[in-house]
């Protein structure tokens, strides 16, 4: 049996990591080269003592860890892990359930049923929609679009799961120019190919043009899938989803919404204008490991048409003893067979936060994003490039003698990362280099925002002097 001591020692290592997370250098302090030097070894011929392995690994990887669960990590769109969710995730590893079928883990199946209902309720989506718990929004986009592919072809008499795509009616795929890379990847994996994608122009915040959509969609005959976005990864902007859905549905199109983090905006009346009408879409992809602050990996695929969802994902084999109709087999809704029992971590997060707790995180992070933007903008060498309506901020550092703004912005970004008070990454917006700041962590306080804004401005003023 597993040695109790190993788990207890590991518990101490984990707790020490969390105790130090606020004071540690936020970015990694060791380079890949240094990490390789410390870690690379020949394949051991003989096994080693488990506790020694864990202790040594923890010591050697430490400098290469990024304090992304901590309160001053603003890279990508990340989020930390609320305590009950992290704890449930630990137990998920200990329980080591196979979340494939109800019979392989009845508890996992039932908990997935419960959190699926809670998620629909939190996001204000139809209670009849079906939910699949996947690895992340990449696979959520894939799952939703597989259901879309099934349905738009089925309604024209084509069974894509049986007949494949060769010879199928041409499916018109419409995206905005700011569609996320993972959405395009999902389309590629589903056999659509980038040549078959129509890309519509967007406005200065990245929102799809409605007049162009009207124009293009009128010219399409046959099946259509329109892809809208809730929460642009750079600006945080929302496509005009309600209007997009109305236009698309008038032409019989399926509308998919990629809302990896933005969909959580549905929880607050403050964002009612941005998120209105989203509930009328046909499918929605989102993440729990971003704004809901569940540990990786946790994405959610939601489909209004349960039959299309099931038909595109159903797994059949003689030894898969399917549960009776009324019992959930988690793998029937995702592209996976054996899988992590992802429901437990979601259960921990949602039950410990409640609707109010989730709303509080979203509202606080949005307010903190505006606070960060206004503190930075006090500096005359700072320009905020986006309308800060959500949790994303794009910052450009203005040129001074002998520098162009692009070079200077990249330089400030890398020096901020090196300084270590906080971490923000680089991005490009409207052909400009920018620093991108994402406020998505439950643990971030207003004081963290102030400390981080000061650190960024300190780096900036040192460079200008
Ligand atoms: C992060 C993100 C994705 C991809 O999500 P993963 O969890 O990284 O797979 C897709 N769409 C948008 C808008 C995102 O922000």
User: Are 192 and 58 contained in the same domain?
Assistant: no
Indicate whether 402 pLDDT > 70: no
- Give residue 401's pLDDT: 67
Interatomic CA distance for residues 2 and 83, integer angstroms: 25
Residue 88, H or E segment: helix 83-95
* Domain presence at residue 398: no
Domains in the chain: how many in total? 2
Q: How far is the CA of 79 from the centre of ligand 1 (A)?
A: 12
User: Are 51 and 127 contained in the same domain?
Assistant: no
Mean pLDDT, to the nearest integer, of 269-285? 98
User: Are 115 and 53 contained in the same domain?
Assistant: no
> Where does a domain end: 291, 314, 349?
349
pLDDT-derived band at 103, boundaries 50, 70, 90: very high
Q: Which domain holds residue 97?
A: 86-349
Indicate whether 357 pLDDT > 80: yes
* Domain presence at residue 157: yes
Q: Is there an atom of ligand 1 within 6 Å of 182 CB?
A: yes
Mean pLDDT, to the nearest integer, of 288-306? 98
What does pLDDT average to over the chain?
96
Q: Is there an atom of ligand 1 within 6 Å of 287 CB?
A: yes
Tell me 326's DSSP state.
T
Indicate whether 399 pLDDT > 80: no
What number of other Cβ atoms are within 10 A of residue 337's Cβ? 13
* Domain presence at residue 92: yes
Indicate whether 400 pLDDT > 80: no
Indicate whether 284 pLDDT > 80: yes
Q: How far is the CA of 322 from the centre of ligand 1 (A)?
A: 32
Report pTM: 0.97
* Domain presence at residue 183: yes
Indicate whether 363 pLDDT > 70: yes
Question: Left if phi > 0, otherwise alpha if psi is -120 to 50, otherwise beta: which for 437?
Answer: beta
- Give residue 2's pLDDT: 76
> How do 392-397 and 382-384 pair as beta strands?
antiparallel
Tens-place pLDDT, residues 132-156? 999 999 999 999 999 999 999 999 9
* Domain presence at residue 345: yes
User: Are 241 and 318 contained in the same domain?
Assistant: yes
Q: How far is the CA of 260 from the centre of ligand 1 (A)?
A: 5
Q: Note whether 412 and 435 are within 8 A (CB).
A: yes
User: Are 154 and 181 contained in the same domain?
Assistant: yes
Q: Is there an atom of ligand 1 within 6 Å of 80 CB?
A: no
Q: How far is the CA of 180 from the centre of ligand 1 (A)?
A: 7
Closest-CA residue, ligand 1 atom 5, reads 137
* Domain presence at residue 399: no
- What CATH number is attached to the domain comprising 267? 3.40.640.10
Burial class of residue 345 in the structure, from the number of CB atoms within 10 Å of its CB (0-12 exposed, 13-18 middle, 19+ buried): buried
| Adjacent-strand bridge partners of 255 | 226
Q: Return the sign of the alpha-carbon dihedral for residues 217, 218, 219, 224.
A: positive
- Give residue 338's pLDDT: 96
> Where does a domain end: 18, 38, 68?
68
* Domain presence at residue 164: yes
* Domain presence at residue 449: no
Indicate whether 1 pLDDT > 70: no
Q: Is there an atom of ligand 1 within 6 Å of 330 CB?
A: no
User: Are 173 and 298 contained in the same domain?
Assistant: yes
Indicate whether 113 pLDDT > 70: yes
> Where does a domain end: 317, 349, 381?
349
Closest-CA residue, ligand 1 atom 12, reads 260
User: Are 19 and 104 contained in the same domain?
Assistant: no
**Ligand 1 pocket test, candidate residues 139, 176, 233, 260, most atoms within 8 A of CB:** 260
- Give residue 350's pLDDT: 98
User: Are 36 and 184 contained in the same domain?
Assistant: no
User: Are 256 and 340 contained in the same domain?
Assistant: yes
Mean pLDDT, to the nearest integer, of 238-265? 98
Alpha helices in 20-62 (DSSP H): 32-39, 50-61
- Give residue 307's pLDDT: 96
Integer CA distances (angstroms), 226 to 182, 232, 251, 272, 360, in order: 15, 16, 11, 22, 32
Mean pLDDT, to the nearest integer, of 87-104? 96
- Give residue 327's pLDDT: 82
Tens-place pLDDT, residues 23-47? 999 999 999 999 999 999 999 999 9
Q: Is there an atom of ligand 1 within 6 Å of 138 CB?
A: yes
- Give residue 395's pLDDT: 98
């Amino acid at each position: 049996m597993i040695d109790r001591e190993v788990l207890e020692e590991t518990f101490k290592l984990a707790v020490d990591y969390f105790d130090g997370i606020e004071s540690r250098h936020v970015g990694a302090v060791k380079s890949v080269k240094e990490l390789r030097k410390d870690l690379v070894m020949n394949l051991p011929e003989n096994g080693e003592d488990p506790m020694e392995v864990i202790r040594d690994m923890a010591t050697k990887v430490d400098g290469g860890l990024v304090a992304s669960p901590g309160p001053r990590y603003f890279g990508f769109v990340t989020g930390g892990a609320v305590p009950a969710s992290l704890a449930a995730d630990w137990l998920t590893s200990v329980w080591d359930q196979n979340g494939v079928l109800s019979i392989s883990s009845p508890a996992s199946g039932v908990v997935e049923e419960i959190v699926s209902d809670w998620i629909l309720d939190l996001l204000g989506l139809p209670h009849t929609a079906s939910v699949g718990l996947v690895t992340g929004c990449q696979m959520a986009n894939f799952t939703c679009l597989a259901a879309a592919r099934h349905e738009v072809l089925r309604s024209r008499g084509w069974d894509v799961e049986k007949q494949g795509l060769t010879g199928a009616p041409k499916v018109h795929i419409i995206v905005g120019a700011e569609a996320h890379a993972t959405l395009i990847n999902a389309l590629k994996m589903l056999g659509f190919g980038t040549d078959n994608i129509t890309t519509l122009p967007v406005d200065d915040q990245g929102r799809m043009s409605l007049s162009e959509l009207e124009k293009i969609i009128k010219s399409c005959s046959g099946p259509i899938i329109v892809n809208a976005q809730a929460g642009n990864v750079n600006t945080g902007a929302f496509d005009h989803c309600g209007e997009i859905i109305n236009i698309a549905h008038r032409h019989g199109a399926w509308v998919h919404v990629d809302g990896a983090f933005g969909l959580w905006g549905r929880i607050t009346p403050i964002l009612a204008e941005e998120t209105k009408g989203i509930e009328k879409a046909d499918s929605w992809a989102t993440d729990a490991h971003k704004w809901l602050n569940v540990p990786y990996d946790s994405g959610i695929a939601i489909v209004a048409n349960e039959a299309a969802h099931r038909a595109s994902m159903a797994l059949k084999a003689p030894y898969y003893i399917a549960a009776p109709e009324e019992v959930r087999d988690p793998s029937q809704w995702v592209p996976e067979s054996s899988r992590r029992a992802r429901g437990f971590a979601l259960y921990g997060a949602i039950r410990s936060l409640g609707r109010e707790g989730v709303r509080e995180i979203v509202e606080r992070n949005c307010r903190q994003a505006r606070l960060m933007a206004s503190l930075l903008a006090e500096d005359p060498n700072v320009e905020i490039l986006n309308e800060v309506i959500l949790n994303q901020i794009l910052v450009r550092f203005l040129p001074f003698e002998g520098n162009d703004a692009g070079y200077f912005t990249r330089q400030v970004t890398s020096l901020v990362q090196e300084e270590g008070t906080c971490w923000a990454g680089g991005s490009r917006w409207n052909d400009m280099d920018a620093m991108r700041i994402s406020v998505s962590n439950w643990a971030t306080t207003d004081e963290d925002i102030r400390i981080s804004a000061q650190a960024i401005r300190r780096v900036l003023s040192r460079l200008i002097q």
